[in-house]
Amino acid sequence: DQQVKQNSPSLSVQEGRISILNCDYTNSMFDYFLWYKKYPAEGPTFLISISSIKDKNEDGRFTVFLNKSAKHLSLHIVPSQPGDSAVYFCAASGKTSYDKVIFGPGTSLSVIP
């Protein structure tokens, strides 16, 4: 059973609008959450992260929101740009250095010019 779920395999958004990518997790021991972005024919690259002591982290056009009680996080991209078209992986881990990072199945975002 997947511990990190991304229930939308794909998402299309108009350029300039907000993209919201959702992620749910089942393990209450997860303490740290990350988003990676993957272009075709390239490896994933780290995008943004959030610790469980926060409920929001912002980096330019990217904001991640964490709702621990709901075991839910979301990535907001505002405004969306065509170059944001990629697969986005949500990932989660416990707090110790021995905890593995668990990745979700990914959401493919298409930003339409």
Partner 1 sequence: DVKVTQSSRYLVKRTGEKVFLECVQDMDHENMFWYRQDPGLGLRLIYFSYDVKMKEKGDIPEGYSVSREKKERFSLILESASTNQTSMYLCASSPHLGPSYEQYFGPGTRLTVT
Q: Which residues bind partner 1 (CB under 8 A)?
A: 2, 4, 6, 9, 31-32, 34, 41-46, 49, 51, 89, 92-101, 103-106
Enumerate residues 6+ apart whose C-beta is below 8 A from 62: 35, 47, 48, 75, 76, 77
Total residue length of the chain: 113
Which residue from 15, 56, 60, 2 is spatially nearest to 33, judged by alpha carbons?
56
In eight-state DSSP terms, residue 15 is T
Minimum CB distance to partner 1 smaller for 79 or for 105: 105
Minimum CB distance to partner 1 smaller for 41 or for 70: 41
Minimum CB distance to partner 1 smaller for 14 or for 45: 45
Compute the least distance from the CB of residue 9 to partner 1, in Å.
Answer: 7
Compute the least distance from the CB of residue 92 to partner 1, in Å.
Answer: 8
